[in-house]
Structure 1
């Protein structure tokens, strides 16, 4: 009983610390994006800001995964969090004393992108070291619930702070979040990861070994392939969200924060269900359903008329969009944590980070000029339609292959 209570208390400390950090990050992220949207009113400029934030992930994800598997995950997570906090502090001080041009925010976003690249696979790999395998769906549900709560409250805090204080003051909430998250993780004792004989193998060999995880598990390969194809269309939407409210619906920052809040409500509802009542057996199939839901909702957002009443439908659609995202992510994360060897887990998660970080800049380079010409609402429609088609095609292929594999297994078992 004491052992059970111990892992729960350790997990809660880590989860709450990460939630506080995300709370500050989401608030600052909302304020920065809204600041850019108000000053530039350009999908292209917002696309560039997203590009510089995600490009470092494309470059450093393989290194981050290997680092999470080879070195101290706790240290990597704390160092990354504090590096992002210090960057926000430096930019806040400079912004307070100097009238910096808008483009300088791209430098800070780039540094934050590097920090996040190293922090994500490290913290995701720490969780299965603390939590029993049979509790991973629930604990991932709780992690996503806290993340959703931060996503829910963060933009509201960001909008309030942005309306009351200069950006230099708003940035300090990110600094406070990084400090508290680092303290929380520092006091938790993480079980030592056993080293393997291959720990000193060549860098390229380690990257190939991480990719081999997905090649060997066909179920995992198909869902990750579907995610990669869909993220090319879906990832740019996060950069265009503020323009849907400010330009398409012609509404204020508070309305923008309400949209973010709606998205977070959907995430929280899905997270709460996974962490309490839902018991998922076929995790990969459920993850496919989440991708399909993301595409369907994006398509709906693209056809909503630019009226005040239409904005309420847009906000309601964002609830479904947030829920669908977690329906895709939570089962996929739990499946990886259950099936992938602990010493390879950092690299497995870094591949997922690499997918989003590669598809985001490529998608932005492709979508930004289109959105500039035809409007961000049209890109919502295009992305939704493409996601539905791609998810359906990959799922059909997945179903055929898995059914054939199960049939062969049953025949061999019978013989």
Structure 2
């Protein structure tokens, strides 16, 4: 692969994913805000979150196998196509006047199935496109693009919701998905990876078992995934209950919900740019630990600040920390995992994230109707900081996180 080829491919790939993400974000915000503003219920928010995660959890291990067995570009195209088709059907049903809330839950589940297929394929295809020494920069740029979308889409979604119906947003999502699919089909050229090019001698379950054994035999992966499992449980209140908290504690104006998303997105843009230019500490685990401490501190702060503008400041700082955490974590896996197992490893990571966050919501969602969300944020924020310290002191992770040429951990 020449330098020009990989640069062309990554521009096309990130462009298509950004376009697709824009439409998906519009729908996600529209549905989430519609449920929040019309129900103001922690139980209903929990049901929505479960519908958006359980299908991904069920599908992720199989999707990881598919990402190793088949052409990853086609998996991304097919998953985008499935989501776009389901969104189009939902838009038509709404136009016919049937607007039951269960349809939004069903849409969340269908989108989760597409995400379950797409996520391991995207995570596995990047090392196939990008030279290893450029992975941190490219993942950082990707994080910045995602942050830009998160900055723009809530404003666009809110504007559309005040001027038009939710159906208009459904149609925009269909159009953006079609553009992304055509971009990949017509312009993005990349050969299938080695395992996908070979005749498959084993079945799905054999491949899945091989992937699980691969993780089991790598001490770094076992410990890393354990930390992530606990992290995802503790992140649930900050990730999903803050819109409900704002509605209850500061007011149910749409602009407030938009403001917290914009503040978070501005932070993510800054954090993505910072990690892309800086690259983080020489040992990636140090960068992950620092980001974890900041996220935990901000979660705690969101539970105690009494003024909305201060709330927005901590939400922005939280956003800065997110790419500082996600980028080195992703690059660490992309560097340490055998390419032929990449899809299955990212599939298992997806399974962990999509099982642990619903577990967190099953715990904290009902609690949000019984106790103040502020208390939940303060408590989980403290535990997140403690987890970050433990992660940063683990010798197995520190050894895995060091770059080539760096002295071994004593």
Q: In the alignment, which residue of structure 2 is the partner of 1:194?
A: 194
Q: In the alignment, which residue of structure 2 is the partner of 1:75?
A: 74
Alignment of 1:313 with 2:310, yes or no, is: yes
Q: Secondary structure at the match of 1:192?
A: coil
Indicate conservation of the 8 Å contact 1:248/1:377, yes or no.
Answer: no
Q: In the alignment, which residue of structure 1 is the partner of 2:395?
A: 399
Once residues 279 and 245 of structure 1 are traced to their aligned partners in structure 2, the CA distance between those partners, rounded to angstroms, is: 33
Q: In the alignment, which residue of structure 2 is the partner of 1:348?
A: 345
After TM superposition, list the pairs within 5 Å mapping 1:274-285 onto structure 2. Answer: 274-278=275-279, 280-285=281-286
Cα deviation for residue 208 of structure 1 reads: 3.3
- Kindly tell me the number of residue pairs found equivalent between the two proteins: 403
Cα deviation for residue 359 of structure 1 reads: 0.6
Q: Could you give the per-residue CA deviations for residues 58-92 of structure 1, whole angstroms, max 9, x where no partner exists?
A: 11110010000001111110010111111111111
Indicate conservation of the 8 Å contact 2:124/2:343, yes or no.
Answer: yes
Alignment of 1:63 with 2:62, yes or no, is: yes
Alignment of 1:160 with 2:159, yes or no, is: yes
Q: In the alignment, which residue of structure 2 is the partner of 1:292?
A: 293
Question: Structure 1 residues 401 and 255, CA, compared in 2 at 3 Å: closer, same or farther?
Answer: closer
Q: In the alignment, which residue of structure 2 is the partner of 1:177?
A: 176
Indicate conservation of the 8 Å contact 2:268/2:322, yes or no.
Answer: yes
Q: In the alignment, which residue of structure 1 is the partner of 2:263?
A: 262
Once residues 209 and 313 of structure 1 are traced to their aligned partners in structure 2, the CA distance between those partners, rounded to angstroms, is: 49
Alignment of 1:383 with 2:380, yes or no, is: yes
Indicate conservation of the 8 Å contact 1:227/1:291, yes or no.
Answer: no
Indicate conservation of the 8 Å contact 1:16/1:146, yes or no.
Answer: no
Indicate conservation of the 8 Å contact 1:124/1:349, yes or no.
Answer: yes
Once residues 204 and 397 of structure 2 are traced to their aligned partners in structure 1, the CA distance between those partners, rounded to angstroms, is: 33
Indicate conservation of the 8 Å contact 1:54/1:110, yes or no.
Answer: yes
Once residues 44 and 183 of structure 2 are traced to their aligned partners in structure 1, the CA distance between those partners, rounded to angstroms, is: 36
Cα deviation for residue 395 of structure 1 reads: 3.6
Indicate conservation of the 8 Å contact 1:223/1:284, yes or no.
Answer: no
Indicate conservation of the 8 Å contact 1:371/1:378, yes or no.
Answer: no
Cα deviation for residue 3 of structure 1 reads: 2.2
Give the TM-score normalised by the residue count of structure 2. Answer: 0.92
Once residues 142 and 280 of structure 2 are traced to their aligned partners in structure 1, the CA distance between those partners, rounded to angstroms, is: 16
Cα deviation for residue 159 of structure 1 reads: 0.9
Once residues 25 and 132 of structure 1 are traced to their aligned partners in structure 2, the CA distance between those partners, rounded to angstroms, is: 29
Q: Secondary structure at the match of 1:260?
A: helix
The structure 2 residue matched to 1:327, chosen from 324, 328, 349, is 324
Alignment of 1:253 with 2:254, yes or no, is: yes
After TM superposition, list the pairs within 5 Å mapping 1:28-177 onto structure 2. Answer: 28-177=27-176
Stretch of structure 1 that moved more, 30-39 or 180-189: 180-189
Cα deviation for residue 145 of structure 1 reads: 1.0
Cα deviation for residue 335 of structure 1 reads: 1.3
Taking only aligned residues, the RMSD between alpha carbons, in angstroms, comes to 2.4
Indicate conservation of the 8 Å contact 1:263/1:320, yes or no.
Answer: yes
Indicate conservation of the 8 Å contact 1:213/1:340, yes or no.
Answer: no
Indicate conservation of the 8 Å contact 2:392/2:398, yes or no.
Answer: no
Once residues 316 and 45 of structure 2 are traced to their aligned partners in structure 1, the CA distance between those partners, rounded to angstroms, is: 23
Indicate conservation of the 8 Å contact 2:147/2:266, yes or no.
Answer: yes
Once residues 334 and 262 of structure 2 are traced to their aligned partners in structure 1, the CA distance between those partners, rounded to angstroms, is: 29
Cα deviation for residue 198 of structure 1 reads: 9.2
Q: Could you give the per-residue CA deviations for residues 123-165 of structure 1, whole angstroms, max 9, x where no partner exists?
A: 2211111111111111111111111111111111111111111
Stretch of structure 1 that moved more, 168-177 or 272-281: 272-281
Indicate conservation of the 8 Å contact 1:223/1:288, yes or no.
Answer: no
Once residues 3 and 301 of structure 1 are traced to their aligned partners in structure 2, the CA distance between those partners, rounded to angstroms, is: 47
Indicate conservation of the 8 Å contact 2:21/2:146, yes or no.
Answer: yes
Indicate conservation of the 8 Å contact 2:68/2:195, yes or no.
Answer: no
Structure 1 stretches lacking a partner, 5+ long: none
Q: Secondary structure at the match of 2:98?
A: coil
Cα deviation for residue 213 of structure 1 reads: 4.0
Once residues 401 and 25 of structure 1 are traced to their aligned partners in structure 2, the CA distance between those partners, rounded to angstroms, is: 34
Once residues 42 and 321 of structure 1 are traced to their aligned partners in structure 2, the CA distance between those partners, rounded to angstroms, is: 25
Q: Could you give the per-residue CA deviations for residues 11-42 of structure 1, whole angstroms, max 9, x where no partner exists?
A: 01110110111111112111111100111010
Question: Structure 1 residues 181 and 290, CA, compared in 2 at 3 Å: closer, same or farther?
Answer: same
Structure 2 stretches lacking a partner, 5+ long: none
Stretch of structure 1 that moved more, 361-370 or 274-283: 274-283
